[in-house]
Structure 1
Amino acid sequence: MFHAIGNYFHDRRGTLSKAVGYVGGAYMVGRYISERLEDVRKSILQERAAQENLRRRFEQNQQDASFTVMALLPTLGGHILQGMDVEGVTQELQSYSSKTPRARIEFQHPTAPSESSVTSSVDAARSPGQDGRSDNGSASVTSSVDAVSTPDMSASSASWVDQFSLGSSQVSAVSPAAAREASDCGSSAAVDLSDSMLTTSSASSSSAAAPSASANILAVLSPTTKSKAELWREVKILTFTRTLTVIYSITLLTLFTHIQLNVLGRSKYIQSMIQQERDERLREQLQYSTSVYSLFWDDKSFEDPETDELEDAENISEETERKYLTLSWWILHVGWKDVGERVRRGVEEVFEGVSLKTKLSAADLHRLINDVRRRVEYEVTFEGKERRINFMSTLLPPTPETLQHVLTQGGIPSWLAMSPDSTFDSFLVETRNYITSGSFERVLEVCLDHAAEELFHGVERNVFGTTTDTDDVLLGDQEPRERLAGMLPGLARWCHIALEGLPNELVDGLAELREVSALSAIIYTSYEDRFR
């Protein structure tokens, strides 16, 4: 029987050999396809995990940027509200309009600061003990605008100012002694304001002022009186200046913070990927170390020197990161003043001829503010053409000396601020390139438009939506109108909401803009050249 079976297979050995070859080939092909499909599946899963990791890191980075802006906003808001003290000037106007036998006289140094300077003009109208963020000042920004709708301008001025007072009984109860006390406070404020000028004066003027005490008293007490019209003009100009300065400062701070954190986030992401690749190579080395091959070859032979060099280049020290983040000190303490100066000039050119009695619609206010924005955002070249500015001097210190000053003032030790740091220098150059790029220019324009729309919504809601004058009721297609003086309390209140509101609609709205996310994505994913 076994012989017959053997003969059967021997006679058909060719056919069986072919069958075995086909089956074996099919098995090997199937095994190969299965392995390749498994490799493809693993690569897809790894790619999806990498994309999810990148997406999660990017979204977390954008949230960190919003939190950082909110953390820096109190510092920026404190400087703006203190440097542009609308409430303080309004209290001066309140004191001037109070029902006293004689008007209040403000004593100042004969050399008055220039009105072109935002902070100087504000400080000249302030007095100690009348802080813009006091209870009296806080009540002013929440006052109703209904009281400004009387036909007479003087009555309109007094009615709006009365909203800033503690009460009509307190205003009518002001005595001449209180007026004299206020004058004394004003004179002491003038002495404080002139300290800086006196310290920088020449030695001859100082020696001339020393012998005679009566001469000093006469110089300090030389009265200069601001009229009611001048105070109203200062309130008008300063209110619009502060409002637009808040818009520009918050927008620029938001974009600058996004650039900073995305540059750092991208570098940390690259560093983590390089570390992950290095860990993978170490695992491979451990596998080889258990084989006989490790007896003849050193484990260091598996290391990639180019990857190690790239890892060292992308490694960011805590000192470098701290120095780079300290750059925001410039816009918080100096840059906003540069914006304020430009805004002040634009507001004076546009609103100088607009009377406080003028009734404006929302479209009129939109047109006036856009006119100011054009003067702020564009400059005229020698050829007579308009050119958009990039706010470089607002966001970054312009010279190496100011850069050292920023780092020192931001808490960086002097030796560390002056030491060479190639990584920090590359970050600084990259940041300047992004600020001067066309993408940043486009994103800044969109962000400013959004911030202006937030302002207009607030004005329409708090000013035009609460008017009760029969003259301002809609008649057919006629738009509601409000006196310019009636808009000032709403604008002053909006500044406090934009700087101190929680949650902050302006900051959240800017962070959610598609253009801001696109700019952040461009910065966060600009690492391809590093691996070529």
Structure 2
Amino acid sequence: MIGATRRWFRRNRTNFAVGAGVLGAGYLAGQYVLGKLSEARQRMSDERIAKENLRRRFEQNQEDCTFTVLAILPTATENVLDALPVEQVLEELQKQKAERLARSVGPSEIASSAPPSVADTAEDDAKSSSFQSESYVHASQIAAGEGASSTDSTNGGTETSRERERKSKKSKAQLWNEMKISSITRAFTLLYTLSLLTLLTRIQLNLLGRRNYLASVVSLASPPPANQESHISLENHDDDNFEQAYGNDFETNRRYLSLSWWLLHKGCLNLMERVRAAVKDVFGSLNPREEITLERLSELTLEVRKKVEGVTEQERRTCKWLTYLLPAQDQEEYVLQESGMTSSSDSSSPTTTASLRRLIDETSDLIDSPAFTHVLTRLLDAAFSHLIDVKISQLSYKIPPISESTARVQEIVGTDVKAKVANSLAVFCRQAHSIGSSANNEYLVAIEQVRELEAFAAVVYSSNFEFESPGPGTLSRPTTAAGESNRTSLAVSGDMLGVGLSQPGSVRQSWAGADAGFESAWGKALANEDGKRG
């Protein structure tokens, strides 16, 4: 029996060997397939986590941009309001009206009346037969009622301060023209400043957010030292960990952000002169007592924008805004000193490091790109539409509110409703404070609803990772699971935001002109925004 069994196994030993081989191969193949499935599942999980992490950081970055704009906008507003003191001109007009009434009625009646507003002062001027002639009559009446001049005790030929003030006093026509130009210029300048500040802040914080994101990914991809592999360590990979920024570059980030001082103190005033010249050219011949339609006011507003931004699409694409947003290279040291980043004693040492210079150069290239002017035009469309189609329409022309999704400065439904220019000037004066307000800013809300703004921020945040390499050889580590996750997270970052990574090359080559890679990313970003809103 035992011998027979042994002979049977001997005769079928080949079949047993083949069967065992098949079973072993099947087992190994099964284990291989299970391993690949587990690896793919882990990779998908890592990609999902990376996408959520990048999305969370990006959305937080955009919220930080909003709060930053609201925090620093009052500085520019104060500078513009000081440069265009419309309230002082109005006060002088009211003073002249009070003097005129004082000669025609008793002082008790003057005291009992309330201070006149811009519209009230215009109504009083409307009663005269001629706006221009009345102003000169009023000026002569002041000169006749002031009395003879007195001489100084030490110098008999010197005029008194009262006489000098009387000679330098402007006529009512001059005051009205100054208030008209200044009130409109002030509101328009603040709209331009708000739009430019919003874009500049988005560029700055998204560039820094991109660097911090890549720093955290590289930190996770770095293999721990051999002597620490068996130890448990707690690490901070959040955005508030400044140690993970390349080379502890917190000081460079502070200096880079301080460059917005130029727009807040110098750029807005330079822009104001450009806007003032356009407003004076367009609105200069308009009489404050004249009644115009809202459509006519919109046409005049568009004429001002054409003179400031350009008439054709090509002119707007080539319009340069860099001089208003960033200082020239020879003035960067001055800006850093004025913003408190450096002191005069540090002037001997270089303050613009290679890292800071790279950030400034890339920011300059972004500002000079056609996409920047395209987004800026859309932001200005929304801001001017809110001012003219909403505020002026409701407060000056008493037109019921319409849906802001259909409101456009270029497309206003014709209406026969007319209002005096002086009434609109009063609204312009009040809205200037609302445009530059840091609380409940309706204009900033209208600007941030422009879809191109978020698309532009996504392109800035997810493009050009190649230029943020922390140093030679840092990213060329041996391939590990964390290293593979690093490359995966960088690859999916563009897809998550609806854009693609730009091709390698210099920073200026990447952003100069209508670069194909950037335009492709820009198109994907807009398509992604349309998909999310659909």
Could you state the TM-score of these two structures normalised by the residue count of structure 2? 0.69
* 1:419 partnered with 2:350: yes
Supply the AA of the counterpart residue of 1:442: H
Task: Check 1:45–1:285 CA distance in 2 against 1; reply closer, same or farther (3 A cut).
Answer: farther
Query: In the alignment, which of 315, 318, 321 is matched to residue 391 of structure 1?
Result: 321
Supply the AA of the counterpart residue of 1:240: I
SS at match of 1:55: helix
Query: In the alignment, which of 453, 471, 477 is matched to residue 516 of structure 1?
Result: 453
SS at match of 2:33: helix
Q: In the alignment, is the contact (CA less than 8 A) between 2:293 and 2:415 conserved in 1? A: no
Task: Check 1:413–1:148 CA distance in 2 against 1; reply closer, same or farther (3 A cut).
Answer: closer
Supply the AA of the counterpart residue of 2:66: S
Q: What residue is the counterpart of 1:253 in the other structure?
A: 197
Q: In the alignment, is the contact (CA less than 8 A) between 1:148 and 1:157 conserved in 2? A: no
* 1:351 partnered with 2:283: yes
Supply the AA of the counterpart residue of 1:487: S
Residue 466 of structure 1 and its aligned partner are, at CA, apart by 6.2
Q: What residue is the counterpart of 2:26 in the other structure?
A: 26
**How far apart, CA to CA, are the structure 2 residues paired with 1:509 and 1:416?**
43
**How far apart, CA to CA, are the structure 2 residues paired with 1:495 and 1:264?**
32
Query: In the alignment, which of 394, 399, 405 is matched to residue 334 of structure 2?
Result: 405
Residue 73 of structure 1 and its aligned partner are, at CA, apart by 1.4
**How far apart, CA to CA, are the structure 1 residues paired with 2:457 and 2:5?**
78
**How far apart, CA to CA, are the structure 2 residues paired with 1:466 and 1:157?**
30
**How far apart, CA to CA, are the structure 1 residues paired with 2:69 and 2:129?**
39
**How far apart, CA to CA, are the structure 2 residues paired with 1:466 and 1:345?**
30
Q: What residue is the counterpart of 1:460 in the other structure?
A: 393
Q: In the alignment, is the contact (CA less than 8 A) between 2:289 and 2:420 conserved in 1? A: yes
Deviations 1:344-380 (A, max 9, x none): 1001100112222322222211110010011112399
Residue 8 of structure 1 and its aligned partner are, at CA, apart by 3.2
Supply the AA of the counterpart residue of 1:330: W
Q: In the alignment, is the contact (CA less than 8 A) between 1:270 and 1:314 conserved in 2? A: no
SS at match of 2:287: coil
Query: In the alignment, which of 230, 241, 246 is matched to residue 174 of structure 2?
Result: 230
SS at match of 1:360: strand
Supply the AA of the counterpart residue of 2:328: P
Supply the AA of the counterpart residue of 1:153: A
Residue 274 of structure 1 and its aligned partner are, at CA, apart by 1.3
Q: What residue is the counterpart of 1:308 in the other structure?
A: none
Supply the AA of the counterpart residue of 2:224: L
Q: In the alignment, is the contact (CA less than 8 A) between 1:316 and 1:423 conserved in 2? A: no
Supply the AA of the counterpart residue of 1:357: R
Supply the AA of the counterpart residue of 2:174: E
Residue 9 of structure 1 and its aligned partner are, at CA, apart by 2.7
**How far apart, CA to CA, are the structure 2 residues paired with 1:387 and 1:83?**
29
* 1:48 partnered with 2:48: yes
Query: In the alignment, which of 330, 338, 342 is matched to residue 274 of structure 2?
Result: 342
SS at match of 1:500: coil
Map 1:301-340 to 2 at 5 A: 314-340=246-272
Task: Check 1:481–1:222 CA distance in 2 against 1; reply closer, same or farther (3 A cut).
Answer: closer
Q: What residue is the counterpart of 2:466 in the other structure?
A: 529
Map 1:482-497 to 2 at 5 A: 482-497=419-434
* 1:437 partnered with 2:380: no
Supply the AA of the counterpart residue of 1:237: I
Query: In the alignment, which of 106, 126, 150 is matched to residue 153 of structure 1?
Result: 126
Supply the AA of the counterpart residue of 1:461: Q
Could you state the TM-score of these two structures normalised by the residue count of structure 1? 0.70
Task: Check 1:480–1:230 CA distance in 2 against 1; reply closer, same or farther (3 A cut).
Answer: same
Residue 399 of structure 1 and its aligned partner are, at CA, apart by 4.3
Q: What residue is the counterpart of 1:122 in the other structure?
A: none
Residue 508 of structure 1 and its aligned partner are, at CA, apart by 2.7
Q: What residue is the counterpart of 2:308 in the other structure?
A: 376
**How far apart, CA to CA, are the structure 1 residues paired with 2:90 and 2:129?**
14
Residue 284 of structure 1 and its aligned partner are, at CA, apart by 7.2
* 1:500 partnered with 2:437: yes
Residue 431 of structure 1 and its aligned partner are, at CA, apart by 1.1
Query: In the alignment, which of 173, 190, 215 is matched to residue 158 of structure 2?
Result: 215
Q: What residue is the counterpart of 1:282 in the other structure?
A: 224
Residue 481 of structure 1 and its aligned partner are, at CA, apart by 1.4
Deviations 1:42-64 (A, max 9, x none): 11111111111111111111111
Deviations 1:19-74 (A, max 9, x none): 22211111111100000111111111111111111111111111111111000012
**How far apart, CA to CA, are the structure 1 residues paired with 2:102 and 2:123?**
25
Q: Structure 1 unaligned segments of length 5 or more: list them.
A: 104-135, 159-175, 181-208, 290-310, 468-475
**How far apart, CA to CA, are the structure 2 residues paired with 1:2 and 1:345?**
115
Q: In the alignment, is the contact (CA less than 8 A) between 1:148 and 1:486 conserved in 2? A: no
Count of residues in correspondence between the two structures: 412
**How far apart, CA to CA, are the structure 1 residues paired with 2:370 and 2:226?**
46
Q: In the alignment, is the contact (CA less than 8 A) between 2:73 and 2:438 conserved in 1? A: no
**How far apart, CA to CA, are the structure 2 residues paired with 1:397 and 1:26?**
70
Q: In the alignment, is the contact (CA less than 8 A) between 1:379 and 1:388 conserved in 2? A: no
Q: In the alignment, is the contact (CA less than 8 A) between 1:379 and 1:389 conserved in 2? A: no
Task: Check 1:286–1:404 CA distance in 2 against 1; reply closer, same or farther (3 A cut).
Answer: closer
Task: Check 1:155–1:55 CA distance in 2 against 1; reply closer, same or farther (3 A cut).
Answer: farther
**How far apart, CA to CA, are the structure 2 residues paired with 1:448 and 1:386?**
12
**How far apart, CA to CA, are the structure 1 residues paired with 2:266 and 2:329?**
14
SS at match of 1:282: coil
Taking only the aligned residue pairs, the percentage that are identical comes to 32
Supply the AA of the counterpart residue of 1:439: A
Task: Check 1:341–1:152 CA distance in 2 against 1; reply closer, same or farther (3 A cut).
Answer: closer
Supply the AA of the counterpart residue of 1:409: E
Q: In the alignment, is the contact (CA less than 8 A) between 1:463 and 1:486 conserved in 2? A: yes
SS at match of 2:224: helix
Residue 214 of structure 1 and its aligned partner are, at CA, apart by 6.7
Q: Structure 2 unaligned segments of length 5 or more: list them.
A: 105-113, 132-141, 147-151, 232-242, 401-412, 468-474, 476-503, 505-534
Task: Check 1:461–1:284 CA distance in 2 against 1; reply closer, same or farther (3 A cut).
Answer: farther
**How far apart, CA to CA, are the structure 1 residues paired with 2:203 and 2:96?**
48
Residue 90 of structure 1 and its aligned partner are, at CA, apart by 0.7
**How far apart, CA to CA, are the structure 2 residues paired with 1:7 and 1:148?**
125
* 1:265 partnered with 2:195: no
RMSD of the TM alignment (CA)?
3.5
Q: In the alignment, is the contact (CA less than 8 A) between 1:335 and 1:395 conserved in 2? A: yes
**How far apart, CA to CA, are the structure 1 residues paired with 2:42 and 2:58?**
24
Q: In the alignment, is the contact (CA less than 8 A) between 1:148 and 1:156 conserved in 2? A: no
Residue 92 of structure 1 and its aligned partner are, at CA, apart by 0.7
Residue 151 of structure 1 and its aligned partner are, at CA, apart by 10
Q: What residue is the counterpart of 2:527 in the other structure?
A: none
Deviations 1:231-270 (A, max 9, x none): 1111111111011001001111111111111111111112
Q: In the alignment, is the contact (CA less than 8 A) between 1:377 and 1:388 conserved in 2? A: no
Task: Check 1:502–1:43 CA distance in 2 against 1; reply closer, same or farther (3 A cut).
Answer: same
**How far apart, CA to CA, are the structure 2 residues paired with 1:264 and 1:360?**
48
Supply the AA of the counterpart residue of 1:343: V
Deviations 1:457-497 (A, max 9, x none): 11112122269xxxxxxxx9743111111111112111112
Task: Check 1:28–1:416 CA distance in 2 against 1; reply closer, same or farther (3 A cut).
Answer: farther
Q: In the alignment, is the contact (CA less than 8 A) between 1:149 and 1:156 conserved in 2? A: no
Map 1:76-91 to 2 at 5 A: 76-91=76-91
